[in-house]
């Protein structure tokens, strides 16, 4: 009953309802459409706000409290592609490039899913470590690098760091706009602290929920337009898109509990581990694994895993965290 109540609370939050509205707009073939410039602006705003607030929280908590869970999150992000890749190769019968591309997406993280999870925790008055944004920042790059290496044939002797596309992938994984904004804003927030937050709170805190609702409206339209691709990805990826977040999210909750995070913190680490990237990873993979079919990775991440997480996955990981720490 508590799980059902948690799902209801999540489904009735404004950002999730705006996501559903976006899906409906796409399915009904409405002429509603966001200008590309607005989408980019919303993305920049959300990533900068998350990073800055996380940096302020890190300063308040102290590096001593942050380093162990952040290190655990980074290691988990790098490990997820290592078991995702062989599952895709052996069970899904996918090519090396496609398996590496999907592994990179699922080892990497979704900032929007993370934001939806923090909104859910706030709506039920569940506290969590405010420095959890650090997990979001450190989990993005390792998974992309490992996934691309696997897709390039690191295990078969075909991989080389001299490959120009590999150098592009490494650069995007470290200096791509998503990672750069998150880490850069987090550093600025750490240096400025609470005094700096007070000076920009009216911009980075007060409008945040409204901006998120607009962004999820756009994401709903994107996901809705990709629903037709479900026929192309096949039954295996449909099952994978739901099973993978449950497995990865459970591992994240377990790890978060083991390193001493609260119920809310363990939930957020589980949500990040169970999410799949559709911003940073696609950009890096497109350059480094051009032979991979983007329909597989994007449809699985955006049309299957993302809707599952923001509706059922987040409450599920919360109930797991509660059960482990009860």
Token pair 């993305």 in the structure block, residue? 43
Give the CATH number of the domain where residue 238 resides: 1.20.1530.20
> Residue 28: what pLDDT?
93
> Residue 121: what pLDDT?
93
Backbone angles phi, psi at 92, to 5 degrees: -90, -10
The pLDDT tens digits of the residues spanning 260-291 come to 999 999 999 999 999 998 776 776 777 677 78
Distance of alpha carbon 56 from alpha carbon 185, whole angstroms: 10
Distance of alpha carbon 98 from alpha carbon 266, whole angstroms: 31
Contact 46, 111 (CB under 8 A): yes
How would you class 149 by CB atoms within 10 Å of its CB: exposed for 0-12, middle for 13-18, buried for 19 or more? buried
Distance of alpha carbon 186 from alpha carbon 49, whole angstroms: 9
Contact 167, 161 (CB under 8 A): yes
The pLDDT tens digits of the residues spanning 53-77 come to 888 988 888 888 899 999 999 999 9
The pLDDT tens digits of the residues spanning 17-54 come to 898 899 899 999 999 988 988 888 888 898 888 889 88
Which residue range(s) make up the domain with 160? 2-25+33-324
Rounded to the nearest 10 degrees, what angle do helices 63-90 and 133-152 cross at?
30
How would you class 235 by CB atoms within 10 Å of its CB: exposed for 0-12, middle for 13-18, buried for 19 or more? exposed
Question: Is the pLDDT assigned to residue 122 strictly greater than 60?
Answer: yes
> Residue 57: what pLDDT?
86
Structural domain tally of the chain?
Answer: 1
Residues with Cβ within 8 Å of residue 135, at least 6 apart in sequence: 69, 70, 73, 268, 269, 272
How many residues make up the chain in this entry?
A: 326
Question: Is the pLDDT assigned to residue 158 strictly greater than 60?
Answer: no
Q: What is the CA radius of gyration of the chain?
A: 19
> Residue 155: what pLDDT?
47
User: Which of 1-5, 124-128, 255-259 comes out lowest in average pLDDT?
Assistant: 1-5
Distance of alpha carbon 185 from alpha carbon 179, whole angstroms: 10
What would the mean pLDDT of 246-261 be, rounded to a whole number?
Answer: 96
How would you class 91 by CB atoms within 10 Å of its CB: exposed for 0-12, middle for 13-18, buried for 19 or more? exposed
User: Which of 164-173, 180-189, 254-263 comes out lowest in average pLDDT?
Assistant: 164-173
What would the mean pLDDT of 122-128 be, rounded to a whole number?
Answer: 92
pTM exceeds 0.95 for this model: no
Distance of alpha carbon 68 from alpha carbon 260, whole angstroms: 9
DSSP string, 284-304: HHHHH-TTS-HHHHHIIIIII
The tokens describing 156, both together, are 């078969």
Using pLDDT thresholds of 50, 70 and 90, give the confidence band for residue 182.
confident
- What count of other Cβ atoms lies within 10 Å of the Cβ of residue 309? 26
Mean pLDDT for the chain overall: 86
């Amino acid at each position: 009953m508590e799980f059902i109540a948690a799902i209801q609370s999540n489904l009735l939050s404004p950002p999730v309802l705006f996501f559903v509205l976006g899906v409906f707009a796409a399915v009904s073939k409405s002429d509603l459409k966001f200008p590309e410039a607005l989408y980019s602006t919303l993305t920049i705003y959300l990533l900068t706000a998350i990073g800055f607030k996380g940096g302020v929280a890190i300063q308040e908590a102290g590096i001593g409290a942050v380093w162990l869970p952040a290190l655990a999150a980074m290691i988990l992000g790098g490990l997820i592609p290592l078991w995702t890749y062989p599952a895709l190769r052996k069970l899904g019968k996918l090519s090396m490039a496609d398996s590496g591309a999907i592994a990179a997406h699922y080892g990497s993280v979704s900032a929007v899913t993370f934001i939806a999870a923090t909104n859910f925790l706030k709506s039920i008055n569940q506290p969590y470590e405010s420095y959890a944004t650090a997990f979001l920042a450190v989990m993005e790059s390792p998974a992309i690098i490992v996934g691309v290496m696997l897709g390039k044939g690191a295990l078969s002797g075909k991989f080389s760091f001299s490959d120009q596309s590999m150098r592009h992938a490494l650069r995007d994984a470290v200096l791509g706009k998503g990672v750069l904004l998150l880490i850069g804003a987090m550093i600025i927030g750490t240096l400025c602290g609470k005094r700096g937050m007070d000076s920009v709170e009216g911009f980075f805190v007060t409008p945040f929920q409204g901006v998120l609702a607009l962004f999820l409206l756009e994401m709903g339209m994107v996901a809705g337009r990709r629903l037709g691709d479900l026929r192309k990805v096949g039954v295996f990826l449909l099952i994978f898109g739901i099973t993978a977040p449950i497995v990865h999210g459970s591992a994240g909750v377990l790890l978060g509990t083991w390193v001493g995070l609260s119920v809310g913190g363990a939930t957020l680490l589980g949500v990040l581990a169970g999410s799949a990237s559709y911003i940073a990873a696609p950009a890096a993979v497109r350059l480094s694994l051009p032979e991979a079919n983007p329909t597989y990775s994007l449809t699985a991440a955006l049309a299957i895993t993302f809707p599952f997480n923001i509706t059922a996955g987040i409450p599920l990981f919360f109930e797991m965290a509660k059960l482990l720490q009860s």
